[in-house]
Structure 1
Amino acid sequence: MANILIVGDGAIGLLLSHFLSASHNVSVLTRKSPTNTRFYSRGKGTSKKIDAQFISLNQLNKAAEFDVVLFTVKAFQVLDAFSQIKPFLPIHCSIVLSHNGMGNVDEVNSQLNTHQALYFLTTNIAGFKSNQYIVQHTGEGQSVIGGCNELALQNSAPIADIFKVIPNLTFTNNIQQLRFEKLLVNIAINPLSALSNVRNGELRAPKYNTIIFNALTEACNIAKAQGLNIPLIKALNTAYKIMELTANNYSSMQQDLTYNRETEISAICGYISQQGKLHNIKTPYNDELFVKIQAKKSVV
């Protein structure tokens, strides 16, 4: 049984805390009231209390040492959250990042000691918070975890054993490839669903085909420039499959715009735009999606 700290109590943080607390001691760092009970809900079934301890930042120094610290905050929040948690990290502990988009891995890795393993968890589990204390589990999906530094790559068994309670979890030795494949899904779904204010399944309509095709073409060109082999047809098939599986769901970016929250567009389409400049590859479709989301957010 491991001692796990989950940083962030958004939908994914609460879903993962529900699964992990079935076999481990789980604490969840929250900015909300730590005394309120959180619940997990699936379909028409009875809501279940999430069997985790919710704590505030000033309670961290009283907590037991953690074996694993899992960051489930959004991409743009990772470095700030890590700087707050860093003083409390045990010398021998594993760090796991989990967010949409790219970035942060190199920055976090540079701040770890040689005894701290860094992993990335990518997941297609779907859910949303019906209020700040209840998470609705709305869709199944594969989760993949992989090492991001040498220590993590050499020690896959322990983390895979700890996280095996997460449904449909596998371990990979090439998490960069999997992260980019997830990025392609995010590009196809998140910005368009947010801009059009539609559910994921509605993006299968013919009027979205051209922009999805071109945005993913640009991203696949960036993947190739990075030495990754992701055929466009695979990216399209995966994106449309996820649209079908999560047809009734709203994307996280649509929810962020709806509730006037900052989005992860900089780590998604913004990342492709930045990499396009670096590799001298034109990315007009991702550039446009990035600018439109930024503009919409600024006038909400």
Structure 2
Amino acid sequence: MMREWTILGAGALGCTFAALLTEQKRPVSLMLSDRRRRHFHPAFEFIALNERRRLVSPHYRFAEQAADIECLLVMTKAYQVLPALGSLRGLPREVPVILLHNGMGIAEDVAKLLPHNPLLAGVTSHGALREGNSQVRHTGKGETWLGPVNEKGKAFSHLTKPLASALGHAGWSEDILSLQRRKLAINAVINPLTACHNIYNGQLSEPRFADVVEQLSQEVHTVLSALGETETLEQYRRRLNSVIELTATNYSSMHQDLAHGRPTEIDYITGYLLKHAGELPVPVCQQLYQEVKKHEGQV
């Protein structure tokens, strides 16, 4: 019997995953917040990578229907994860919960909130953009990885198979923490710089940003190495430059958040690094953190 995927977080990426899963005839529901209960569209237009357009009509759920969830994919903003999960009264203990959000530092709190549920984390390099209230564009195809956060989560590696058929790739890693750190390393450079300077990702390759990218990547690598990351600085910078090149025409999620007056995930990206830096000097990280906070109007 096919397990229904409930996606918590109907943003651009959550809607893209819903569209790709429904295309493979997988049962999917989108869980909406109470504030969207009165003004949501029964269908949204999905624009695929090949520009093909189609209407997607997922099943919608709300928090009071948590008892019906079979598999929960959490794709909210990082700062929304705990409040959203806390509203799901009656979520069955056996339901696997997959955290697929930007940033780090939340899984520990989720484990306390849901001590009996199988808990997994994931990373994805798919890109998506909301182009209107009911229009979502898939902007980039990438890899998706899942892995266990707690002991019960280890029994759910089979969930990668239906995801792989829908997304093109989905793998399993027993060391998902390392993959999360490596994604954080990319986001900690691209997101705050593009947000503060109001630029596309690809503009970070311009000579005017060479010094700040070099220093920032050094700081990020130093902190993550202290946390156990084994990637060399050279390997990391090659990967960073590759992502900048591959997403050259994209706006980062943090850029989009600031541009639309929304809170950002800076506390779970740069903030995570600052929290774990200890005595390590990270002046560029600190400056960018303060700049983003200022733009958010919180400083």
Once the two structures are TM-superposed, the CA of residue 253 in structure 1 deviates from its matched residue by 0.7
1:215–1:285 contact (8 Å) kept in structure 2: yes
Q: Are 1:88 and 2:90 counterparts?
A: yes
2:163–2:169 contact (8 Å) kept in structure 1: no
1:3–1:65 contact (8 Å) kept in structure 2: no
Aligned partner of 2:44 among 38, 53, 60? 38
Q: Are 1:126 and 2:127 counterparts?
A: yes
Q: Which residue number in structure 1 is paired with residue 251 of structure 2?
A: 250
Alignment of 1:97-116 (within 5 A): 97-114=99-116, 116=117
SS in 2 for 1:296: helix
Q: Which residue number in structure 2 is paired with residue 284 of structure 1?
A: 283
Aligned pairs, number:
292
Alignment of 1:161-172 (within 5 A): 161-164=161-164, 165-172=166-173
Once the two structures are TM-superposed, the CA of residue 296 in structure 1 deviates from its matched residue by 1.6
Q: Which residue number in structure 2 is paired with residue 298 of structure 1?
A: 297
Once the two structures are TM-superposed, the CA of residue 44 in structure 1 deviates from its matched residue by 6.0
Q: Which residue number in structure 1 is paired with residue 53 of structure 2?
A: 47
Q: 1:161-217: CA deviations, max 9, x gaps?
A: 232222222111111100010001101211111111111111111211222222222
Residue 196 of structure 1 aligns with an amino acid whose one-letter code is H
Q: Distance in 2 between matches of 1:243 and 1:43?
A: 19
Q: Which residue number in structure 1 is paired with residue 159 of structure 2?
A: 159
Give percent identity, aligned residues only.
27
Q: Which residue number in structure 2 is paired with residue 231 of structure 1?
A: 232
Structure 1: 5+ residue runs without aligned partners?
Answer: none
Q: Which residue number in structure 2 is paired with residue 262 of structure 1?
A: 263
1:34–1:54 contact (8 Å) kept in structure 2: no
Residue 289 of structure 2 aligns with an amino acid whose one-letter code is F
Q: Distance in 1 between matches of 2:52 and 2:167?
A: 20
TM-score by length of structure 2 reads 0.92
Deviating more after overlay: 160-169 vs 236-245 = 160-169
Q: Which residue number in structure 2 is paired with residue 146 of structure 1?
A: 147
Q: Distance in 2 between matches of 1:91 and 1:197?
A: 44
Once the two structures are TM-superposed, the CA of residue 133 in structure 1 deviates from its matched residue by 1.4
Q: Which residue number in structure 2 is paired with residue 56 of structure 1?
A: 62
Q: Which residue number in structure 2 is paired with residue 188 of structure 1?
A: 189
Q: 1:209-254: CA deviations, max 9, x gaps?
A: 2222222222222222222212111221111111111111111111
Structure 2: 5+ residue runs without aligned partners?
Answer: none
Change (3 A) 1:23 1:174: farther
Q: Distance in 2 between matches of 1:182 and 1:254?
A: 17
Once the two structures are TM-superposed, the CA of residue 51 in structure 1 deviates from its matched residue by 4.2
Q: Distance in 1 between matches of 2:264 and 2:115?
A: 31
Aligned partner of 1:69 among 46, 68, 72? 72
Residue 48 of structure 2 aligns with an amino acid whose one-letter code is R
Once the two structures are TM-superposed, the CA of residue 299 in structure 1 deviates from its matched residue by 8.2
1:223–1:230 contact (8 Å) kept in structure 2: no
Change (3 A) 1:234 1:156: farther
Q: Distance in 1 between matches of 2:285 and 2:240?
A: 16
Deviating more after overlay: 204-213 vs 36-45 = 36-45
2:49–2:140 contact (8 Å) kept in structure 1: no
Q: Distance in 1 between matches of 2:151 and 2:229?
A: 20
Q: Distance in 2 between matches of 1:265 and 1:246?
A: 20
Q: Distance in 1 between matches of 2:177 and 2:153?
A: 14
Residue 87 of structure 2 aligns with an amino acid whose one-letter code is Q
Instruction: Give the aligned CA root-mean-square deviation in angstroms.
Output: 1.9
Residue 60 of structure 2 aligns with an amino acid whose one-letter code is F
SS in 2 for 1:127: strand
Q: Distance in 1 between matches of 2:50 and 2:150?
A: 42
Once the two structures are TM-superposed, the CA of residue 36 in structure 1 deviates from its matched residue by 2.5
